[in-house]
A and B are shown apart, each in its own frame.
Chain A
Amino acid sequence: MRVYAYTVSGDLATLALGPLAAAIAAGEVSAADALAAYRVRIDAYDPAIGAYRRRCDDRANAEAAAVDAALKRGDSVGPLTGIPMGLKDILVTKDVETSCGSKILEGWIPPYEGTVASRLTAAGAVLMGKHAMDEFAMGSSNENSAYGPVGNPWDLDYVPGGSSGGSAAAVAAGLAAFAVGSDTGGSIRQPASLCGIVGLKPSYGRVTRAGMVAFASSLDQAGPMTRCVRDAALVLGVIAGADPLDATCLSQPVPDFVSACERGAKGLRIGVHRESMDRDGLDQEVRAAFETALAVVRDAGASIVDIDLPHSDKAIATYYVLSMTEAASNLARYDGVRYGPRVERSSLLGMYEATRDAGFGKEVKRRILLGTFLQRKDSYEAYYGRAMKVRALIARDYDAAFQRCDVIASPTSPVAGFKRGSESTIR
Chain B
Amino acid sequence: MSLADYEVVIGLEVHCQLATRTKMFSACPQRIGAPPNTMVDAYTLGMPGTLPVPNAEAVRYGIALALALGCEVQGTSQFVRKHYFYPDLPKGYQITQSDRPYAWGGGIEIPAGRIRLHHIHFEEDAGKNVHVPGEDVSLVDYNRAGAPLLEIVGEPDLRSASDAADYLRELRAIVRTLGISEANMEQGTLRCDANVSLRRRGVETLGTRCEIKNLNSFRFLERAIEAETRRQADLLDAGEAIVMATMSFDPDRGVTKIMRTKEDAADYRYMPEPDLPLLVLPDGWVASLREAQPELPAARRLRYADLGLSANSAALLVDDPELAAYFDATVRSGAEPKTVANWVGGELLAKLEGAPICDSPLAPEQLAELIGMIADGTVSGRAAKQVFSTVWAEGGSPRAIAERDGHRQVSDTSVLEAAVVEVIASSPKQLAQFRSGKVSLKGYFVGQVMKKTRGQANPKLVGEILDRQLAATSEALPE
Residues of A within 8 A of B (CB): 91-92, 98, 100, 105, 108, 110-112, 114, 209-214, 216-218, 244-248, 325-326, 329, 332-333, 335, 337-339, 348, 352, 372, 375-377, 380, 384, 388
Q: Which residues of A contact B269 (CB under 8 A)?
A: 329, 372, 375-377, 380
Instruction: Flag if B85 contacts A352 (CB, 8 Å).
Output: yes
A114 to B271, CA, bound (A): 26
Q: Which 6 A-B pairs have the closest CB atoms?
A: A332-B92, A217-B274, A375-B269, A92-B49, A218-B274, A213-B48
Q: Which residues of B contact A212 (CB under 8 A)?
A: 49
Q: For the A-B complex with A338-B46, A377-B268 known, give 6 more contacts whose Cβ atoms are closer than 8 Å.
A: A91-B49, A92-B49, A214-B48, A244-B53, A248-B275, A329-B81
* Interface of chain B, main secondary structure: loop
Instruction: Flag if A213 contacts B85 (CB, 8 Å).
Output: no
Instruction: Flag if A112 contacts B91 (CB, 8 Å).
Output: no
Q: Which residues of A contact B54 (CB under 8 A)?
A: 247
Instruction: Flag if B42 contacts A332 (CB, 8 Å).
Output: no
For residue B45, CB closer than 8 A to chain A, the reply is yes
A144 to B238, CA, bound (A): 61
For residue B83, CB closer than 8 A to chain A, the reply is yes
Q: List 5 A-B contacts (CB under 8 A).
A: A214-B275, A218-B274, A246-B53, A247-B51, A332-B91
Closest CB in chain B relative to A259 CB, distance in Å? 31
A374 to B19, CA, bound (A): 37
Q: Knowing A247-B275, A372-B269 are in contact, say whether A114-B83 is a contact too (CB < 8 A).
A: no
Q: Knowing A248-B276, A335-B92, A375-B269 are in contact, say whether A105-B48 is a contact too (CB < 8 A).
A: yes
A338 to B91, CA, bound (A): 10
Q: Mark B47-87, 1 if CB is under 8 A from A, else 0.
A: 11111111000000000000000000000000001010101
Closest CB in chain B relative to A384 CB, distance in Å? 6
Number of chain B residues close to chain A: CB under 8 A: 30
Closest CB in chain A relative to B356 CB, distance in Å? 35
* Interface of chain A, main secondary structure: loop
Instruction: Flag if B47 contacts A111 (CB, 8 Å).
Output: yes
A210 to B53, CA, bound (A): 10
A218 to B277, CA, bound (A): 10
For residue B270, CB closer than 8 A to chain A, the reply is yes
Closest CB in chain A relative to B145 CB, distance in Å? 10
A247 to B52, CA, bound (A): 7
Instruction: Flag if B92 contacts A214 (CB, 8 Å).
Output: no
Closest CB in chain B relative to A336 CB, distance in Å? 10
Q: Which residues of B contact A326 (CB under 8 A)?
A: 271, 274
Closest CB in chain A relative to B120 CB, distance in Å? 21
A339 to B155, CA, bound (A): 42
Q: Which residues of B contact A110 (CB under 8 A)?
A: 42, 47-49
Q: Knowing A210-B50, A246-B53 are in contact, say whether A329-B93 is a contact too (CB < 8 A).
A: yes
Instruction: Flag if A377 contacts B267 (CB, 8 Å).
Output: yes
Give the nearest-CB partner of A209 in chain B.
Answer: B51
- Max chain B C-beta neighbours (<10 A), residue from A98, A209, A338, A388: A338
For residue B105, CB closer than 8 A to chain A, the reply is no
Closest CB in chain B relative to A157 CB, distance in Å? 33
For residue B375, CB closer than 8 A to chain A, the reply is no
For residue B188, CB closer than 8 A to chain A, the reply is no
